[in-house]
Amino acid sequence: MVTVRPAGLAAQVGTQDSAHPTLRLRSPEFTLNGAGNLTAWLRGGTGSGSLNGTGVSALPANTTSPGFQGVALRNVNTGNYLLSGKKSSSGDTWQQAVFTAAELTALPPGVYTLDLIDAGHGGWGWVAMDSVSIPGTPVSTHPPTLKVQRWTSNQVRIS
């Protein structure tokens, strides 16, 4: 089990719906171990679309309105997102994104990361994440660290 909490991408109060470079927060690498569902609590907007089958390199450099806002499971070997999840309704209420054990079992073996992605702006153009549970085994034995891949100083907060 890999547990990463809490973490989120959020802008300064009053600017959270503004356009920005696409933001990506990446978990440590892990292999899936079949120990249940992968879950992540999300808050904010639904954004739009799905990243299933999308290459990481195909992510837009900058946000669109709407754009994808949620989590996606990245196969490190191929560089493709195989599953993605987002909220079903925009708002301050926390909702859980779930990749079921059955969905995870159907994936090719390999090394994965879970990415939180904010590629959207406009109304409810922000997303936050908390209490992530990954049925996986860390690739590294070092304590996990969180890395923000792209950011500008006033648009990311990790707390």
Q: Which residues form the interface with Ca ion (CB under 5 A)?
A: 118, 121, 125-126
Query: Smallest gap, in angstroms, from Cβ of residue 121 to Ca ion?
Result: 5
Between CA 121 and CA 72 the distance in angstroms is: 18
> If residue 101 lies in a helix (H) or strand (E), which one and from where to where?
helix 101-105
The reply to whether omega before 60 is within 30° of 0 (cis) is no
> At its nearest, how many Å lie between Ca ion and the CB of residue 136?
27
Find the shortest distance in angstroms from Cβ 44 to Ca ion.
8
Helix %, strand %, coil % of the chain (to 5) = 5, 45, 50
Instruction: Report the residue number, 125 or 135, with the smaller CB distance to Ca ion.
Output: 125
Question: Is the Cβ of residue 8 or residue 125 nearer to Ca ion in the bound state?
Answer: 125
The smaller minimum CB distance to Ca ion, of residues 70 and 125, is found at: 125
DSSP notation for 102-149: HHHHTSPSSEEEEEEEE-B-STT--EEEEEEEE-EEESSSSPP--EEE
Q: In the complex with Ca ion, which residue's Cβ is closer, 46 or 75?
A: 46
Residue among 41 and 126 whose Cβ is closer to Ca ion:
126
CB of 53 to Ca ion, least distance (A): 23
Q: Are 107 and 32 in contact (CB under 8 A)?
A: yes
Closest separation between CB of residue 28 and Ca ion, Å?
Answer: 24
DSSP symbol at 152: -
